[in-house]
Structure 1
Amino acid sequence: TRMLFTSAPLCFTRDSLLEFTLRCERGARRGFAHAHWRVGRGPFTQAHLRKLLQRAAGSNSGLLSRRKRNVNNNPQFQPPMYQVSVAENQPAGTFVVVLKAVDPDEGEAGRLEYFLEALFDSRSNNLFTVDSSSGVVSTVEILDRETKDMHVFRVTAVDRGTPRRTAMATLTVTVSDTNDHDPVFEQQDYKESVRENLEIGYEVLTVRATDGDAPVNGNILYHLLNNNNGTNDVFEIDSRSGVIRTRGLVDRETVESYVVTAVDRGTPRRTAMATLTVTVSDTNDHDPVFEQQDYKESVRENLEIGYEVLTVRATDGDAPVNGNILYHLLNNNNGTNDVFEIDSRSGVIRTRGLVDRETVESYVLLVEANDQGRDPGPRSATATVHIIVEDDNDNAPQFSEKRYVVKVPEDLSPNTEILQVTATDQDRGNNAVVHFSIMSGNTRGQFYIDAQTGKLDLVSQLDYEMNKEYTLRIRAQDGGRPPLSNISGLITVQVLDVNDNAPIFVSTPFQATVLENVPVGYSVIHIQAVDADAGDNSHVNDNNPE
């Protein structure tokens, strides 16, 4: 027997119906009883309730019945979390796990359907399926651990009661590794050169192989075999790291070939092989030697970037790698490294910047050749390269003045020099030879300029009264091919007046009529004369000659 208690104050109206369900458990057995109790007003003491329950238990009035009420209960997963492992490469349809949920209801309300939904990665939905009735989870496709090694799902169990009740759990499927990958070497052919008389334990090189499988299947052990008889007294390999070291005397005259194997630790074992060729080289006992100690070359200015100027060559009596040569330009103080560069392997010297003769007329490069020896360290030699920059007609003549002004009296005799024009050209040779000519302003041919000297001569008489000023445009042209010109030269010739014109009466003869008896000082007539000259030369004095 058990006691029945209320967990909160009850408030009933008349003819209220109190309903509750009793769950009885004894060990693994479990049962449910549904009570329908119509209660009115009255005493609700503990003793009164006990008496009512005793009466109901012994009567057939139906106050207490063991008839189950139609209430849909939630299903529950057992267990609420699934973690399973499935080997990769198994055929589609491989069994994974059985999902199991428990629903205490009977009939359709206790019938469950199962569903899977991938968490984190929707691709998992395409790889697994669940039987909705049995809860059996199986694969849809062949699994590959190297593509994805874990799949996580939300598992749902839904009953068919009203309303439908659900339960949820998680399913984690780990894809376990099978030994389905061979080891793969980073190289199929390893080549290495070592010097003779190496110390024991010298690290020659390291071979590496990878295996796509997971440990332990992906763990690799290395072995070194001699191609000839399987024995090896000169080299050994660290089985775990792949480091190959000397274990005996290295003979300079021998070239040995070996087979390196990489074996994983899976079942069955998988193996890969690579070839190792070891050549014993000589010591670095030769300096590089240039074909010439002094190289000379001429180039024109304004070369395009990347123009090949010349090639320097040096040889080394040692064998590779000791005899391999790299070239470079030594530092300098005149900026040659900004204008030229050298290919470190071929020795070709090219332009890398502007070559301008007007800035630098010649360059001296110091080239160093270094071999790649290691025992002893690199040896070197130097050679000198002289580069002469040839002129290119890239500069037009420049006048010494923007405008020349000369004052010339109008009575200056013809064939007289009145001015000399000068212009300079930064180029060299014929490119710098300047010739002068008059472009405009000499419509009457009164001026002549000497093409070589730039001297400007008066050809014919000037007349101030006809033209007071002349403006001549001068061209300076160099002797390049094609020539460059400057037509910005201007000469202003200002004509100065000379008293070369006599005054002229406006009209002659002058006639006047005078009355008799006019007083002294009486104005009889106005006489006017003009002078074509300028300034003081044109002022006319009214003087009466005696």
Structure 2
Amino acid sequence: MIVVGPLNHQSAAVIVVRVAVNDVGGSKPTFGLSQEETDLPVQEDFAEVTIFVEALFHDEPIFPPPWSPSNPVIKVQVKEEIEPGTALVELRATDPQAHQPVREFRVFEEGEYLELKVNKIFVKKRMDYEVLGRENKSIELGVEAMSIDRQRSSRATIQVELEDVNDHDPILDQESYAFTIPESLLPPASIAVFTATDEDVQRGFGDVTFELENTDDFVVNATTGVLTVAAHGVDRELKAVHSFKVVAKDIPQGGNQQRRTSAHVSLSGPGSLF
């Protein structure tokens, strides 16, 4: 039995392997034997081998778990757009030889968005979820814990997992709208289609719906943005020009994080609408 990969005491301290052995030379010639004599059982046996993986003692400084020498990563979850200068995490490590907390940390790999000050990791640069996603950038900083005698060290990579927040307003395709409609237009014929985009990409933040304000004579499909005449129709002789607002909203389920934008709409035309 040979070891084909690294063993990790933290992942598996006890490994049980089932071993089978077969007697390949134990079968008999079948020529001239009866059926009962040839149907002999396979000669084999089984055993279980238990392997105990001992923990390897390290003299190097030790960061708290879930950091480990085999997976030297410290993950931090942060909301996007956090202010530069904000402290994210305080580094801690122990010198097992001196039995004292580590007092000195260094950077061994610089990061664009993070910086180390004494024993704390700070935001150095604004982090935008959408921009980083488009550029496929990771947010990391390599730090090193020095032993008390400064002769030994351990490394850790600080990895920031950025959480998307709803920080972008929906954007309508025009700042204002003006339409001329024919008198022959009957409900529910469509007049126009509003479109809007939202740079937020996660958890419904970028899902845009539409509604109208200050009118009962026209309706808009909340999902498609199609503008139509209301079922009761509109009398041109009573009102020559119709003015109202179209509103684009994100997060269809609503809530205090919902963002919205609006634009003025003007409709006019000859004749009457029924």
Category of TM-score, reference length = shorter chain: 0.5 to 0.7
Contact 1:297 1:388 in 2 (8 A): yes
Q: Deviations over 1:433-491 (max 9, x none)?
A: 33322222x2xx2211122332211124445555443232112233352432212x122
- Mapped partners of 1:367, 1:455: distance in 2: 52
Q: Deviations over 1:195-244 (max 9, x none)?
A: xxxxxxxxxxxxxxxxxxxxxxxxxxxxxxxxxxxxxxxxxxxxxxxxxx
- Cα distance change of structure 1 residues 364 and 412 upon mapping to structure 2, 3 Å threshold: same
AA aligned opposite 2:194: V
Aligned position for 1:369: 144
AA aligned opposite 2:131: T
Alignment of 1:449 with 2:220, yes or no, is yes
Q: Which runs of 5+ in 2 are unaligned?
A: 1-57
Contact 2:146 2:154 in 1 (8 A): no
- Mapped partners of 1:454, 1:423: distance in 2: 9
Alignment of 1:331 with 2:110, yes or no, is yes
Output aligned runs, 1:226-245, within 5 Å: none
Output aligned runs, 1:70-469, within 5 Å: 286-291=59-64, 292=67, 293-319=72-98, 325-328=104-107, 330-332=109-111, 335-336=112-113, 340-344=114-118, 346=119, 348-360=120-132, 363-371=138-146, 378-427=151-200, 428-440=202-214, 442=215, 445-459=216-230, 460-469=232-241
Aligned pair partner of 1:475 in 220, 239, 247: 247
User: Cα offset for 1:314?
Assistant: 3.6
- Mapped partners of 1:313, 1:490: distance in 2: 57
AA aligned opposite 2:126: L
AA aligned opposite 2:248: A
- Cα distance change of structure 1 residues 289 and 422 upon mapping to structure 2, 3 Å threshold: same
- Mapped partners of 1:310, 1:373: distance in 2: 22
- Cα distance change of structure 1 residues 478 and 329 upon mapping to structure 2, 3 Å threshold: farther
Q: Deviations over 1:269-325 (max 9, x none)?
A: xxxxxxxxxxxxxxxx9544444112222211233455442344444444499x754
- Cα distance change of structure 1 residues 414 and 286 upon mapping to structure 2, 3 Å threshold: same
What is the root-mean-square deviation in Å for CA atoms of aligned residues? 3.4
Q: Structure 2-normalised TM-score?
A: 0.59
- Cα distance change of structure 1 residues 352 and 328 upon mapping to structure 2, 3 Å threshold: same
- Mapped partners of 2:171, 2:161: distance in 1: 26
Structure 2 residue matching 1:360: 3-state secondary structure: helix
Q: Deviations over 1:367-401 (max 9, x none)?
A: 22152677xx7544332222122222332221111
User: Cα offset for 1:421?
Assistant: 1.1
Aligned length: 201
- Mapped partners of 1:494, 1:372: distance in 2: 79
- Mapped partners of 1:408, 1:475: distance in 2: 21
AA aligned opposite 2:144: A
Structure possessing the higher relative contact order (Cα contacts under 8 Å, 6 or more residues apart)? 2
Contact 2:95 2:148 in 1 (8 A): no
Output aligned runs, 1:29-48, within 5 Å: none
Structure 2 residue matching 1:473: 3-state secondary structure: strand
Q: Which runs of 5+ in 1 are unaligned?
A: 1-284, 501-546
AA aligned opposite 2:129: R
> What is the aligned-residue identity percentage?
24
Structure 1 residue matching 2:131: 3-state secondary structure: coil
AA aligned opposite 2:212: I
Q: Structure 1-normalised TM-score?
A: 0.32
User: Cα offset for 1:495?
Assistant: 2.0
AA aligned opposite 1:302: E
AA aligned opposite 1:493: L
- Mapped partners of 1:388, 1:358: distance in 2: 13
- Mapped partners of 1:303, 1:364: distance in 2: 13
